[in-house]
Amino acid sequence: MFTDKQLRAVLFIGLLAIARAHDMGFQNVAFSRGTLLRNSRKAVQSLDSGVQSNCVRICGERCVRMGLDQSNRYAKLDLDEETLIKEQQHVLVAYKMRPKYPIAVDYVSTAAHFAAESSTGTNVNVCTTDDHTMSVDAVVYEVDEDEELMKIAYPVKLFDRNITDGRAMVCSILTLVIGNNQGMGDVEYGKIHDIFIPPNFLRLFDGPAVDIRHMWRVLGRETDDYDPIVGKTEWNGGFVVGTIIKPKLGLRPKEFAEAAYQFRLGGDFLKNDEPQGNQTFCPMRTVIPIVVEAMKRAMAETGRRVFFSANITADDPDEMIARGKYVLGQFDHLAEQVSLLVDGYVAGPTAVTTSRRNFPRQYLHYHRAGHGAVTSPQTQRGYTALVLSKISRMLGASGIHVGTMGYGKMESEKSDKDIVYMLERDIAQGPYYKQDWAGMLPTTGIISGGMNAVRMVGFFENLTHANVIMTCGGGSYGHVDGPAEGATSCRQAWLCWKAGEDPIEYAKKHRQYARAFISFPGDADKLFPNWRTELKGLHDITGEEGKVVA
């Protein structure tokens, strides 16, 4: 079946593998005849194929599988980052990368292979490579194996452009910087922790068509002094009190509209949750008209304008456009009070761009459902939440969910406030790069995930400002006195922080905020241990609410 030469090669490979296993601590190694035969056949097929990435060599006393060493071409460690940034000819990407030993040979050659796979390279030298091809190579320009840090410079010429208008594409960037390199055999993991887009290239992306000033204007707030600079704690527009209709699924049209009406009596911004759209038990063509009527009724009673964020996410761009047109048509002269929600992570850049380009007058609401699969600190591949947020701004999101910075129920840290700063400022420092947004309109952080009035003062202290949209679903509909009072309690929490008052003292004078303590007693016990004594007898509070009986 095999030639003598092939059998000798297979035997040699097998002995080396056993020796390697012994060195690694596997003392009791046993191979069945069938396993050895199957592996032998694979090895012979690999030898016969002549593919360089599967060739075998001896390195000291170990056996490794290695690919073409591309470090001479794809690693240029003498490049200066400051010069690369100044020249504006490269997108710079900082990864945390770990080679997969013993398949990988060393850090630099693995990084070079990563850059090659992310741009112009393959696993063998090809005869079609010319000088121009090599001029657009992505190259590794900095490594620190101890920190698992790898930085790659991607020439902007690599990235695809529209044939219709010459604009740049986010999907093209993602295809290269976070594409095939995520499945490489010699890489254990590679995750993007920061990305720098040169300002001249950044201008080729859509960016937001409208920003938070649009919402503030519609809500009747002044916006003249909007100036997102470090240290400024309050811009004129201020805090937007929002919610998500709860429960997130299951409400029929009449119940959905009534839930919307109740919140609108106290809040500013009401949204579909990310899976709500056109379910058979709550068809869009049935629910939207009565939501409009509920909005009109609430505005007539309060004299205040409110926003509604409608989910138009779909697989088909034509379906998204149809949904958007239908919603705006139903709202008619109130259309400027409509935000269009897109599940931007699961539906992708095409969906976000579809909304951005077809409805440029609407506030574009980017929901990031599913992002944790790649952004979570527990995930070593993909990219971070900060990188996702930068992508959303480039695509044109007016606002994106950014978590709760450690103050809600979702996985997050206090340092996530840097995500908000990156979104809202014209120049912001990331983990590795300072990004100049070249005048691109800001994207506002949307806070959601377990927030309520009791948690808010600490949240604002950490963020240092309140120019965000807070969507408290449970925090509104879970308030003991209903969603309107829940919304009011959130607004009072903001005003408490803004005034610099002690939360307990402020609660004594503000009923809705005080009763948030009995609505969420677990949070209150943790954050304000003396609240039961201090608020007892005020605002119908007994101090016994929510006590855990031993």
Among all residues, which ones are annotated catalytic? 246, 367
Number of Cβ within a 10 Å radius of residue 113: 30
Closest of 410, 421, 406, 335 to residue 368, by C-alpha: 410
Euclidean distance between CA atoms 135 and 112, whole angstroms: 15
Residues with Cβ < 8 Å from 6, sequence gap 6 or more?
Answer: 44, 47, 48
* DSSP letter, residue 220: T
| Residue 65 contacts residue 103 (beta carbons within 8 Å) | yes
Q: Please classify residue 546 by burial: count the beta carbons closer than 10 Å to its beta carbon, then call 0-12 exposed, 13-18 middle and 19+ buried.
A: middle
| Residue 79 contacts residue 143 (beta carbons within 8 Å) | no
Euclidean distance between CA atoms 263 and 144, whole angstroms: 52
Within 219-337, strands assigned E span 240-244, 269-271, 307-311
Number of Cβ within a 10 Å radius of residue 340: 24
Number of Cβ within a 10 Å radius of residue 135: 10
Strands 399-403 and 363-367: parallel
Reading phi first (left if > 0) and then psi (alpha if -120 to 50, else beta), residue 482 is in left
Helices 417-424 and 385-395: crossing angle, nearest 10°?
20
Closest of 117, 116, 118, 102 to residue 188, by C-alpha: 102
Q: Please classify residue 235 by burial: count the beta carbons closer than 10 Å to its beta carbon, then call 0-12 exposed, 13-18 middle and 19+ buried.
A: buried
Q: How far from chain centre, in Å, is Cα 218?
A: 27
Number of Cβ within a 10 Å radius of residue 133: 13
Token digits for 357?
């380009």
Residue 159 to residues 74, 118, 136, 192, 201, Cα–Cα distance (Å):
18, 11, 10, 18, 10
| Residue 95 contacts residue 199 (beta carbons within 8 Å) | no
